[in-house]
Amino acid sequence: MERGRQRTRITEPPQNATQTDAEPSADDSPSLSPTGLDVRFTLDHEPPRGRSMSPARAYLARPSLDSRRSPSVMSIMQIDQIISDDRMNMETYGVAEMRDGFFDALFLKPDPIDPDEVVERSKAALPKEFEKSHPLSAKHFLPRQLHEFKSVTRKVATTRAGIQLLKSFLAFFIAYILCLIQPIHDWLGYNDYIMVVSTIINHPGRNLGSQVDGTVGTIIGTAAGLAWGYVAILISESTNDALKAYGWILIVVSAVFFAGIALIRSIFIRLYQTVLCAGIALAFTTLGLTDGDAFTWHKPLQYGIPWLLGQAIALAVNCLVFPDAGNRLLAIAFHRSFNTMQESLVIPRPRDTGLRRRLAKTFMDMSLAYRDMRIDITITRFRPNDVRELRNSVQGVVRALLTMNTDTDLFEDWSDTLEITVADDAGSESEVEDSGRKVARALSAPTREVIDCMSEGVKTCHAALMDMTGWRKHFGPSKDVSSDLVPVQLRMQNSLAAFDTAEDHLLRSNDRPETYADHGQAVEFLVFARHVRETAGTVVNLMTIVQDMYTSSKSIRVNLPVYPFGKALYRTNAQVRHDRGGVTAGMYRATFAEIAKLIETTRSSEKHHPRDNYEAVTEPEDCTVIESIIHGSPAVHKDRLSYKLWKLLRRCQGFETKYATKVVLLLSALSLPCCFESAYFWRTLYDAWWAVAVGWIMIHPRIGGNIQDFFTRAFAAVLGAAWSGAAHAASGGNPYILAVFAAIYMIPMIYRFTQSTHPRSGLVGCLSFAVISLTLRDASLGPSVALQGVYKGLVFLVGTIAPIIVNWMLWPFIARHELRIALSSMILYMSIMYRNVVANYVYFDEGKDPTPETIRRSEMLESRMREGFVRIRQLLVMSRHEIRLRGPFDPIPYSCLAASCERFFEYLIAVRQSALFYNPNYIRDNPVAAEHLHSYRRDAVAAILGNLYILAVALRSERKVPRYLPSAAAARKKLLHRTAELAREMEEDTEGYELERQKTWSDIYSYSYNASLTGCVAQLEELERFTKLIVGEKKSRFERPAKPIEEDDEDTDVSPERL
């Protein structure tokens, strides 16, 4: 293969839309090596004939390996692939315009947008869920249901899901059988079915800590609801005038309570089970039927005693039947994380988008597992502090793995010697060995040994951790994998010593190049090897932590909840997150709130003061003077009452207050029958209070439900009522036949509630059958049992569909709109992140180098940003379930925009990492150089920040993007040309040049640093292209295009030609 000429790809458009994930795709993020670039070798670097070279398909060319060019010249050659010389004139004729610190923007004619080309080469950017048939497709409905039925059956029969289903069903069935026993029914009364409802709401299909937490929470909530209902009835019966407005007073008092618990439900998700049970208890107390005409203190007992019995049954089943004390969830998280890391250490291999996404998800899985452990009671060998250290070390390994460009040629066969003839200025010729070949021959073997040691170390850590959890037999790895870490640690120590020796010998050799930045392939190999060495350091740290845990964690211990109470209110365990529904919407909001909070914390802790001149920077005696000039006096006005009042009113405009308003309107409307005396008979006979209870259960703070949810939940409510009627018709009141019908119906319905992705439809199906089938036994209900079942089923149907309709009408959750807003927020966050990287890592003043705390905050923000991209892809999948009246929603532009955002983000990380090694002193500390480059640096940074802000605002407000935007590529090219000129001028000054010489690693990383910044510019142009595809392009009034492009309305999601 020819290695003489190479080119580097800024983006990775798929060559075939059907390519696998292992192949480069449009969604592949760039290399996280400090080069930030995916290297491909080819014979030339010219674009295909007959097609324009757009930024989306641009390749960054490098000179041949025998060339001797400065780093700036190489960077200029790369930027030339984005913006050619014929698009802008670089000749200034010695004239410079100083704009007194104002941004000097260049506006160039943009390339035409071809949506069809984008579609063809960007389908691979979609999440894997789009490979399945459309969820609203009638053609694939029955085959999909059959496939899901087979997969669920296999899962229940062969995995732990069957045990979880057994525990949940067993608690329900025990309570159901007890209700069918006549003496128990006579003792508990008509409301004995509350015992069954109790086992469903807090089912035992969870670990012990979650069960205990749910038991305490549901009891407290039930007591609060009963107490408030008792007070409401006492107020309604307090005077004769109050009796006349009995129903209205009940509605008003109940509305106050529902508004309060709605706010708690939307803010503090830890109290979800508590407020849920409080609402059900309140609805029963104010609207439910009692054994007797008057309200007495016996009514709370008729509800409270069955509820306590149900909780006791569920807790007993959880403790006695295959108990899980929280160890299994840790084992699952460890198993998945280490499997993903092990797969990532298969090097070399092509870039795998799916694997990179799984690595990013490992960040969340480990944090979630650790948080869940600290929230609940756990019985395990691990201590919370040990799991925290393990989480940090695993995330360090994952972060290092994401920085490696695994598609490398370092391990190719380099045994043949290749000599290159170089002619000097005098015309003499000399033969030197190819620098890339020399680096490969020196580092290939030791690097391979380090990678093998890392793979073995991760595998051994995996085995040791699974031994400690006790789940190795179920999850793996196999028994032939040793859990003894000492031999692996010794081997790793020896391999790292050999690597360091080979690397040091290579860098100190006499025949090394004068500057490695002139040799692109050698830089790639050196940087890859350096990243392998850094990753090995994180693996060594991981092995040390696992070894300490393995030797010290010999006994089983009980870990009480230790999560800070203030934070614990915003978190809950995995099963409650599942049961409450809307996981994606809730986690998306929480993730972006954390990003915003972290960015705000970073901004408040960093103060960037403008420099009046370029003399040596000294600290002023009174820093508060400068601070007050720049930032005003925020600390003063934030303490004022007016600011606090404004902040409170601002918070009241949030989704929490909107949710509370919807709850009050919905439940007040469903409670209206209690205001009329004529409705007393039928509302008590048909248990109409369950419409209020089901409405409270079904209305979600975040997501209301789409058309698919509407029909699915309505069908579940009707099916439960119909199955209850069929059971009574077939049994004639025989309890044995009723129990058989209950078993047949409830097993799949409980699975749907406790383990499927549609828990709320499963819950309403379970409640509908349990309540109706047990209340139809009472002979006093009348002879027409079937008619009673129809009316009771209608109650559940109204309570099920009413929340969905209210959510459609008032502040609905629309996934495609949230997706657009999320992308807008992510672009804005990246602009702030770019500004911080430039200020803290690139253009900082002398003595203001990045501190460990600054680096730690940057890594925390990067972790949250990775999670944000995961949430964006989940929103993209949610958009498939929504019907769009104006036409089918096109996910391609959104997916491409998200992929471009992620690539920009990866380039930004590469800039930050490279800047830690690359120290351009002549830019930062030399007053003359800094003064000459000031306006160019300002324009290059401002162009990127300005474009990101414009695109973010256009997406959020659904405004069209201006056709002409400041050209970041042109500003970057001007900066590189001026830097090259300045470097040549400084080289003429021998003394100054010697003072500004860079060290070896700084020399190596200089190419990486410049190439990554150039990659940011290329991705910015793609962000512009895809944003215009989504919201449209606004033409200039003075422009007369030769061929106008159709544009959509401002409120559409895609252009008409895409529909």
Residues 6+ apart with CB under 8 A from 68: 422, 518
Work out the angle between the directed axes of helices 759-775 and 194-201 (0-180°, nearest 10).
170
Segment 737-757 shows an average pLDDT of 94
The band of 58, judged by pLDDT with boundaries at 50, 70 and 90, is very low
Residue 98: the pLDDT is 61
Residue 101: the pLDDT is 59
Segment 173-198 shows an average pLDDT of 94
Query: Is 722:768 a contact under the CB 8 Å cutoff?
Result: no
The band of 914, judged by pLDDT with boundaries at 50, 70 and 90, is confident
Two structure tokens written together for 587: 């986690």
**Residue 782 backbone class (left: φ over 0; alpha: ψ -120 to 50; beta: rest):** left
- pLDDT of residue 940 exceeding 50, the answer is yes
Query: Is 488:453 a contact under the CB 8 Å cutoff?
Result: yes
Segment 534-549 shows an average pLDDT of 94
Of the listed ranges 402-416, 714-728, 998-1012, the least confidently predicted one is: 998-1012
Of the listed ranges 361-375, 867-881, 918-932, the least confidently predicted one is: 918-932
Look at residue 275 and give its three-state secondary structure: helix
How, if at all, do strands 429-433 and 419-423 pair? antiparallel
Residue 431: the pLDDT is 37
Residue 322: the pLDDT is 92
Look at residue 716 and give its three-state secondary structure: helix
The band of 70, judged by pLDDT with boundaries at 50, 70 and 90, is very low
- pLDDT of residue 800 exceeding 50, the answer is yes
Q: CA–CA distance from 529 to each of 358, 532, 745, 1021 (Å)?
A: 24, 5, 60, 31
Q: Which one is predicted more confidently, 278 or 364? A: 278
- pLDDT of residue 185 exceeding 80, the answer is yes
The band of 752, judged by pLDDT with boundaries at 50, 70 and 90, is very high
Segment 951-975 shows an average pLDDT of 88
Q: Which one is predicted more confidently, 845 or 629? A: 845
Residue 843: the pLDDT is 76
Segment 905-933 shows an average pLDDT of 73
Q: State the burial class of residue 669 (Cβ atoms within 10 Å of its Cβ: 0-12, 13-18, 19+).
A: middle
Q: CA–CA distance from 351 to each of 28, 356, 402, 404 (Å)?
A: 7, 8, 11, 10
Digit-coded pLDDT (tens) for 565-606: 888 998 899 999 999 888 888 888 888 988 988 888 776 555
- pLDDT of residue 63 exceeding 60, the answer is no
> How far apart are the C-alpha atoms of 930 and 516, rounded to whole Å?
25
Q: Which helix (H) or strand (E) holds 59?
A: strand 59-61
Q: Which one is predicted more confidently, 937 or 604? A: 937
**Residue 512 backbone class (left: φ over 0; alpha: ψ -120 to 50; beta: rest):** beta
Residue 778: the pLDDT is 72
String of DSSP letters for 176-196: HHHHHSHHHHHHH-GGGGHHH
- pLDDT of residue 433 exceeding 60, the answer is no
**Residue 919 backbone class (left: φ over 0; alpha: ψ -120 to 50; beta: rest):** beta
> How far apart are the C-alpha atoms of 213 and 211, rounded to whole Å?
5
- pLDDT of residue 214 exceeding 70, the answer is yes
Match 């201006």 to its residue by tokens.
962
CA angle 508, 514, 516 (to 5 degrees): 85
- pLDDT mean across residues, the chain: 79
Query: Is 193:179 a contact under the CB 8 Å cutoff?
Result: yes
The band of 417, judged by pLDDT with boundaries at 50, 70 and 90, is low
> How far apart are the C-alpha atoms of 213 and 377, rounded to whole Å?
8
- pLDDT of residue 21 exceeding 80, the answer is no
- pLDDT of residue 613 exceeding 50, the answer is no
Residue 335: the pLDDT is 94
Q: Which one is predicted more confidently, 443 or 105? A: 443
Q: Which residues of 689-726 are buried (b: 16+ CB within 10 A; e: fewer)?
A: bbbbbbbbbbbbbbbbbbebbbebbbbbbbbbbbbbbe
Of the listed ranges 173-182, 406-415, 629-638, the least confidently predicted one is: 629-638
Q: Which one is predicted more confidently, 499 or 1059? A: 499
Digit-coded pLDDT (tens) for 687-716: 899 999 999 999 999 888 888 889 999 999
Domains present along the chain, CATH in parentheses: 160-206+208-323+654-702+704-809 (no CATH), 327-568 (1.20.58), 620-652 (no CATH), 829-1058 (no CATH)
Digit-coded pLDDT (tens) for 234-272: 898 888 888 888 889 999 999 999 999 999 999 999 999
Residue 1006: the pLDDT is 66
Residues 6+ apart with CB under 8 A from 31: 37, 38, 39, 351, 405, 407, 910
Q: Which one is predicted more confidently, 165 or 429? A: 165
- pLDDT of residue 115 exceeding 80, the answer is no
Residues 6+ apart with CB under 8 A from 189: 291, 302
Handedness of CA 730, 734, 740, 745 (dihedral sign): positive
Q: Hey, which of 332-346, 881-895, 956-970 has the most confident mean pLDDT?
A: 332-346
Q: Which one is predicted more confidently, 9 or 185? A: 185
Segment 918-938 shows an average pLDDT of 68
Query: Is 71:441 a contact under the CB 8 Å cutoff?
Result: no
Match 């209950």 to its residue by tokens.
742
Residue 429: the pLDDT is 38
Query: Is 332:217 a contact under the CB 8 Å cutoff?
Result: no
Look at residue 423 and give its three-state secondary structure: strand
Q: Which one is predicted more confidently, 611 or 53? A: 611
**Residue 705 backbone class (left: φ over 0; alpha: ψ -120 to 50; beta: rest):** left
Segment 831-847 shows an average pLDDT of 82
Closest by Cα among 360, 356, 440, 369 to 405 = 356
Residue 120: the pLDDT is 67
Residue 90: the pLDDT is 57
Segment 89-105 shows an average pLDDT of 62
Two structure tokens written together for 892: 């391609």
Residue 259: the pLDDT is 95
- Omega before residue 477 within 30° of 0, cis: yes
What is the residue type of 764? V
The band of 84, judged by pLDDT with boundaries at 50, 70 and 90, is low
Q: CA–CA distance from 342 to each of 30, 456, 548, 559 (Å)?
A: 21, 9, 21, 30
Segment 1022-1046 shows an average pLDDT of 73
The band of 718, judged by pLDDT with boundaries at 50, 70 and 90, is very high
Of the listed ranges 304-313, 511-520, 762-771, the least confidently predicted one is: 511-520
Q: Hey, which of 11-20, 47-56, 87-96, 444-453 has the most confident mean pLDDT?
A: 444-453
Q: CA–CA distance from 832 to each of 148, 837, 951 (Å)?
A: 44, 9, 14
Residue 352: the pLDDT is 85
Two structure tokens written together for 604: 């408040």
- pLDDT of residue 102 exceeding 80, the answer is no
Q: Which helix (H) or strand (E) holds 816?
A: helix 815-837
The band of 1003, judged by pLDDT with boundaries at 50, 70 and 90, is low
Residue 87: the pLDDT is 56
Digit-coded pLDDT (tens) for 230-242: 899 889 888 888 8
Digit-coded pLDDT (tens) for 636-687: 456 678 888 888 888 888 888 999 999 999 999 999 988 787 777 788 888 8
